[in-house]
Homo-oligomer: A and B are copies of this chain.
């Protein structure tokens, strides 16, 4: 036994996550004494007390929590290497790993990607949904080849390419009084129960500003970080919201009504790839095609009558 061994780290992580040796054993598919011994060995090896007996269970020490944070940041398991080997074996003509923020990952992007793949039968795709800052991290760490994240997040290891901005749209319950209007303005929202996006969103700030500039008072009692939750809540009658058009059109058949909103507030996002690596040519192609697809989508949106 020389350095830390990966199996020990897996066992350690499982105990922190589950709070017990027995549950951890289940998680990594071994028996409890195996985990018990690995934890003992690891504590010996690193020279730290990582867990304390509390009642009949184990509680991580503050050192364990610090170490665990580093494990989550830095641990690449053998599973990942094995997966990579599998991908190398099965990939012959191309491979693309994409991470995208939920607004795109929940329908719009997968549908586009599906069509992209149809024309490229030998291309393999991994597509994940992550919050924007996690997308940036995944690109920076080489865990994916291409990312799509909201805003203009700067990172030394990541290169940014702006995509076409898309206008926020009003999303209402189907039987709402405002559904009769073909276009909504700030004043229409006066006194309405408003479903807000999370505080950390750039767009949130922008939206709040528009209503403030128009002296409109909304009932502000619902907040969610995810646009699809906002649309679901609107569909349930809980309130009305402003939402990016990708998510809004995905939900248009689910009990909501979507209307253009004036003045225009933009949902801005970008394609990201690692600064120090040449992206696979197929990623370049994906970005270009996706940009063209968005342009087509936005044109149709602008031309369209109210969606019912």
Contacts and interface: CB of A to CB of B under 8 A. Distances in A.
A76 B74 contact: yes
A141 B75 CA distance: 14
B61 A280 contact: yes
B66 A94 contact: yes
Contacts of A81: 4, 9, 67, 70-71, 74-75
Contacts of A276: 54
Given A5-B6, A52-B277, A277-B52, A70 B80 contact: yes
Nearest to A43: B85
A73 B142 contact: yes
Complex copy number for this chain: 2
Most B-side CB within 10 Å, residue of A7, A77, A278, A281:
A77
A62 interface: yes
A86 to B, nearest CB: 7
A95 B66 contact: yes
Interface in A47-62: 47-49, 52, 54, 61-62
A3 to B, nearest CB: 5
Contact of A46 (B3, B5, B66, B89): B89
B67 A85 contact: yes
Contact of A49 (B54, B71, B278): B278
B89 A48 contact: yes
A300 interface: no
A202 interface: no
B5 A85 contact: no
A117 interface: no
A4 B78 contact: yes
Given A48-B88, A76-B73, A3 B63 contact: no
Contact of A63 (B6, B67, B94, B142): B94
A79 interface: yes
Contact of A76 (B61, B70, B88): B70
A93 interface: yes
Interface of A: 3-7, 9, 46-49, 52, 54, 61-63, 65-67, 69-71, 73-82, 84-86, 88-89, 93-96, 141-142, 145, 276-278, 280-281
Given A6-B78, A46-B82, 20 more contacts: A3-B78, A4-B85, A6-B7, A6-B74, A46-B86, A46-B89, A47-B89, A48-B89, A49-B278, A61-B280, A62-B280, A63-B88, A63-B89, A63-B281, A66-B94, A67-B84, A70-B76, A70-B84, A75-B77, A76-B77
